A and B are shown apart, each in its own frame.
Chain A
Amino acid sequence: MNLQLLVVLIVGLPLVGALVNGLIPLFYAPARQWKTLIGAVGSLVVMVPFALALYLFSQGTGGLPDVAALYTWMAVGDFSVSVAYRVDELSLIMTLIVTGVGGLIHVYATGYMADDRSFWKFFAYLNLFIFMMLNLVLANNLLLLFLGWEGVGLCSWLLIGFWYDKRKNSAAASKAFIVNRVGDFAFLLAMFIVVRDVGSLDFDAVLAGTAGMSAEAVTMVVLLLFIGATGKSAQIPLFIWLPDAMAGPTPVSALIHAATMVTSGLYLLARMSPMVLMAPDIMVLIAIIGAVTALVAATIALTRSDIKQVLAYSTVSQLGFMFMAAGVGAFFVAIFHVLTHAFFKACLFLGSGSVIHGMHHVEHELRHRGYDGAFDSQDMRLMGGLREFMPVTRWTYLLSTLAIAGIPLTAGFFSKDEILFKAFEYGYDGQLYAWLAWAIGLGTALLTAFYMTRSYMLTFEGSGRWPMPDQVHPHESPRSMTLPLIVLAGLAMVGGFIGLPKVAEKLGFSNWIHGYLAGHAGHAGPVAEPELHAHVPVGLEIALILAGSLIAIGGVVWAWRFYGRYELGGDELVQGRFGRLYRWWKVGYGFNELYDRTVVRPVISSAEKLFAPFDQRIVDGLVNAVARVMQAFGWLFARLQTGVVQNYALAIVLGVVLVMLLLVF
């Protein structure tokens, strides 16, 4: 099949879905109740592109990126930007993640959102998001990528604030949008520099033109792109929006705030990887920021009692791991972790959604029986013992927890271990900062295993802690919700085998994803790699893998026994052990407070004290003054309009006399 047509279908179908699901119910109200149809259309327009992407994937790319140029978007002088899509190994992998995991989440959402009155709107937004995300990953130039980048930001805003009748939710949506704007601004500046120095935004031209740029300019561009990525991918200092973004419906958290959108910063860095490698100073920054973010978010996750908050901080932490990989030049591992993370984190989020669904049922029953106390269906302190009532959810959640903890042979093990190994290897090669990142990463891996097992134990093990646990209990979620969970949990188990560690080469296995992304069979892949001079001995590598496995298993077993024994009391023990440090974690290191003090409040007070008067007095005053001058002239000229015809006739005669005089003299 013709590539152009395939690409148009892959990118266009979700847009068609968004328009159909959005416009028909908008103008024809009875269609809003056709939920089966809307759900089917919404899911199909994501699954068909997935099938097409699989077809493209099975064809192979033959080494060269295939570019499908649709039309020229804008042309100004020598500078022109096309709407062109690029199919290569990197964009195909991302497309498969977006449409594959996205499709499963759409199916899940048909069950999760079944009772929502704005069902149609939800699917319209979700489809629009997929369209924008595909634009982001398939774009052949920075500007089209930026269009997708802004588009997913918009959809994120729409979906976080989906239940906008609660003020908290729309505030969270605006926070996400505004914080992202800071990053987007840096992205724009990076593009300006690229246009100035290279004169084109096409990836091929930009990466080829990097050689002609000054070192300072390259460093600046990479720094600005990284700042853009910290916004979208929730890294320090701009990560604060992601935990708040959990105000959106759970499928949104799974799709946008775990599996796809937040990984676009990594995608950007991987896409620009040859350029990033030319800015070693910024790579240090990327690795350190990534490692510190991973640690910071992991410690905060330890203190959260809202199940989705734990997962949100866990996402920030895992994204930190990915940036760490990018910072040590292992871009393909970052993308590998994007892939495995999409599996297990989407599964965890959807599992938490299933739990919340079940706890909603509990709340409903309790209200029915006259219970009128406070009840939060996301609070793990009110859960416990759900394994009896929600077996599928429990097993899938457990498997994904093991995967994210990095238990050997699960998907998370391979990708996380590869990140740590690459960091170690880069340090071994002489880049000592990588060892610092590696050490932080190792500690974070332990914390990850611990806090994720904690969330599993508090939710599913022990006994029910909600009011009246003997009379009221939750039910397993419908098939449409459990099926995606099973598929994702299965992928979280086996998905890692595409990226075997280097020692496996001794046994005759190769690291498939490395070859696929970084070049194989004699051609270079889209993702660049640094050249290493020293190689880690095999014995040391095996020792590292063993250490990583031990840390993961140790963390899980420790948390399992700890929270198995103390249940909720475990948190108090941890709090007692860490004291002030724990309080510091609890308030999220005070980032929100800091921004509130240094940015939000100064902006608001300066607006009130300085800009509002300026606007009212000076800007409005200027406008009013212009109006008054106009009025004065109007008044003056109105005097001439006497309404007496003879006066006008006199003017005509005087005019004739004047003309005659001019003619004669």
Chain B
Amino acid sequence: MMEIPLSWYLSLSGVLFSIGVMGVLFRSNLIVILMSVELMLNAVNLTLVAFSQYLGDVSGQILVIFVMSVAAAEAAIGLALVIAIFRNKLTVDINNINLFKH
């Protein structure tokens, strides 16, 4: 079977990360922004795993487990906040969530 070169993994990871960044920067739905953050985290995970395999070092894979558990916690808290905000303002559009400006 043909070995997939490292650069492919990294390119995919870069593309995924950029999609995540764009999502955070330009989407206005809070839930979509949270999903974009997850996407960025997973892009990083992909890099870690790829390097781990390439270098034959297992610590990268261990780090991924950590990242996933932190991401799970983050998603839980993030969604809870979104629900709390939605209850107050009846919207998840960040253009309407601008209390700081006033």
Contacts and interface: CB of A to CB of B under 8 A. Distances in A.
A653 B98 contact: no
Interface string B48-86: 000000000000000000000000000000000000000
Nearest to A643: B101
Interface in A613-665: 641-646, 649-650, 653
B21 interface: yes
A643 B96 CA distance: 11
Given A643-B100, A643-B101, A646-B26, A653 B21 contact: yes
B25 A643 contact: no
Contacts of A649: 24-25
B95 interface: yes
A643 B94 contact: no
Interface in B1-33: 21, 24-26
A644 B95 contact: yes
Contacts of A645: 94, 100
A646 B98 contact: no
A653 B20 CA distance: 12
A646 B101 contact: no
Contacts of B25: 646, 649-650, 653
Interface in A191-219: none
A641 B98 CA distance: 12
A87 to B, nearest CB: 73
B24 A646 contact: yes
Contacts of B94: 644-646
B85 to A, nearest CB: 13
Nearest to A650: B25
Contacts of B21: 653
Of the listed residues B24, B25, B95, the one surrounded by the most CB atoms of chain A closer than 10 A to its CB is B25
Contacts of A650: 25
A163 B8 CA distance: 97
A649 B94 CA distance: 13
B7 to A, nearest CB: 16
B91 to A, nearest CB: 15
A333 B100 CA distance: 84
Contacts of B102: 643
Nearest to B28: A646
A656 to B, nearest CB: 9
A324 to B, nearest CB: 82
Interface string A151-194: 00000000000000000000000000000000000000000000
A154 to B, nearest CB: 55
Contacts of A644: 94-95, 98, 101
Contacts of B26: 646
B102 to A, nearest CB: 8
A645 B99 CA distance: 11
B23 to A, nearest CB: 11
B81 to A, nearest CB: 13
B24 A642 contact: no
Contacts of A641: 101
B98 A643 contact: yes
Contacts of A643: 98, 100-102
Nearest to A646: B25
Interface string A527-570: 00000000000000000000000000000000000000000000
Nearest to A656: B21
A649 to B, nearest CB: 6
A653 B26 CA distance: 12
A641 B102 CA distance: 11
B100 to A, nearest CB: 5
B32 to A, nearest CB: 12
A154 B60 CA distance: 82
19 contacts: A641-B101, A642-B101, A643-B98, A643-B100, A643-B102, A644-B94, A644-B95, A644-B98, A644-B101, A645-B94, A645-B100, A646-B25, A646-B26, A646-B94, A649-B24, A649-B25, A650-B25, A653-B21, A653-B25
Given A644-B95, A644-B101, A653-B21, 18 more contacts: A641-B101, A642-B101, A643-B98, A643-B100, A643-B101, A643-B102, A644-B94, A644-B98, A645-B94, A645-B100, A646-B24, A646-B25, A646-B26, A646-B94, A649-B24, A649-B25, A650-B25, A653-B25
Interface of B: 21, 24-26, 94-95, 98, 100-102
User: Top 7 A-B pairs ranked by shortest CB distance?
Assistant: A643-B101, A643-B98, A650-B25, A643-B100, A646-B25, A649-B25, A653-B21
